[in-house]
Amino acid sequence: MLNLNELFEVIKIDVKNSKTIEELDQIRIKYLGKKGILTSYAKNLKNFSIEEKKKYSIITSKKKQEIISEINIKKQKLILSILEQRIKEETIDISLPGRRIERGCFHPITHTINHIKNFFVKLGFQSINSPEIEDEYHNFNALNISQNHPARDSHDTFWFDNNRLLRTQTSSMQIRIMKKEKPPMRFIFPGKVYRNDYDITHTPMFHQIEGLIVDKNINFSNLKWIIYNFLYDFFGKEVSIKFRPSYFPFTVLSAEVDIFNDSGKPLEILGCGMVHPNVLKNVNIDSSIYSACAFGIGIERITMLRYGISDLRSFFENDIRFLNQFKYN
């Protein structure tokens, strides 16, 4: 019994003198582990008489709980000490200037796309995304573009093989939607398009928004009303607008729309027209009952005109000084 009391005192002293959590764990294993000293002592009680075994078992169990409690208390003190030391080492000097978090912003192209979407949604249009990899039928054939048209050549179009290509216009989605939906319909199709060209006014990838209306009694006056109101909304009521005749394989009547800059020079901004009867026939819409109009807007071009940007390549250079100018637009 004397040796047992001395052992408990030794354990308490070891626990008290421990400096780290790791050292405390070693003490716990040394005395209370499966092969620990106190555990071995408890196993030896089988050699004692029943009365001694009962007496020492109670004492051993009680002392063991005391030691476990001492170890837990010591562990909490060590954890608190570590935390206090860490807080002391990581103290923040509140007099130091803070790290400023720069406010991000939308790209000017995104600003323009969102503006256009918001305008046409108010007129009942739905915005639909479409595939950028197209086949020859949807990109050319169904749009009444002839086999010898120069747009089909490799110097103008990125071909993967004899059938697949990077779409040259979002008009291809007009075919897909007219095959899928039934009139009346109003849709816009924003997205990226690709053409094999690159200079100060052209890039191999750029953005378009195509618009389509299919309904009974749709005519060119409806189309003009939409275009006028869109341009007044985008550029302001003071903008001068001119429609002039043009040619597109997929529309008839066809027109291009110009606005005039400060010096009175016309600037082309979009193309539009009445959807060609052949295109309606390709999607099984009866042109004697329904008519359709369509328009295509080059996003980069009207963005450059709205914000006075002179070089198209600025949109793709990721110059933070350029992009920061559009934080509050």
Domain identity same for 136 and 37: no
Domain identity same for 246 and 307: yes
Residue 10 forms part of a structural domain: yes
Q: Answer whether 295's CB lies under 8 Å from 270's CB.
A: yes
Number of folded domains in the chain? Answer: 2
Domain boundary among 89, 119, 136: 89
Residue 95 forms part of a structural domain: no
Domain identity same for 59 and 114: no
CA dihedral 253, 256, 259, 260 (to 10 degrees): -110
Give the pair of three-digit tokens for residue 19.
């400096």
- Residues spanned by the domain of 54: 2-89
Phi and psi torsions of 168, nearest 5°: -95, -5
Q: Strand runs (DSSP E) across 167-310, as ranges?
A: 185-194, 205-215, 241-245, 251-260, 266-275, 291-298
Domain identity same for 59 and 202: no
Residue 299 forms part of a structural domain: yes
Beta bridge partners, 271, equal 256, 296
Domain identity same for 36 and 113: no
Domain identity same for 11 and 129: no
pTM above 0.85, yes or no: no
Domain identity same for 85 and 113: no
Residues 6+ apart with CB under 8 A from 171: 143, 189, 210, 250, 294, 296
pLDDT at 293: 95
Quote the CA–CA distance of 217 and 184 in Å, as a whole number. 11
Give the pair of three-digit tokens for residue 326.
């559009």
Domain identity same for 81 and 156: no
Query: Residue 218 belongs to a domain with what CATH number?
Result: 3.30.930.10
pLDDT at 201: 67
Q: What is the pLDDT along the chain (329 residues), one digit of tens a residue?
A: 446 677 778 888 888 888 888 888 888 888 777 777 777 766 666 667 777 767 767 777 777 788 888 888 888 888 888 888 888 877 777 777 777 777 778 889 999 999 999 999 999 999 999 899 999 999 999 998 988 888 888 878 899 998 999 999 999 899 999 999 999 999 999 999 998 877 666 788 999 999 999 999 999 999 999 999 999 999 988 889 999 999 999 999 999 999 887 777 888 889 999 999 999 999 999 999 999 999 999 999 899 888 888 888 888 888 888 888 887 65
Cβ neighbour number for residue 222 with a 10 Å cutoff: 15
Q: Is the peptide bond before 253 cis (omega within 30 degrees of 0)?
A: yes
Residue 99 forms part of a structural domain: no
Is the torsion defined by CA of 226, 232, 233, 235 positive or negative?
positive
pLDDT at 328: 62
Domain identity same for 142 and 274: yes
Domain boundary among 24, 55, 89: 89
Give the orientation angle of helix 2-17 with respect to helix 50-89, to 10 degrees.
10
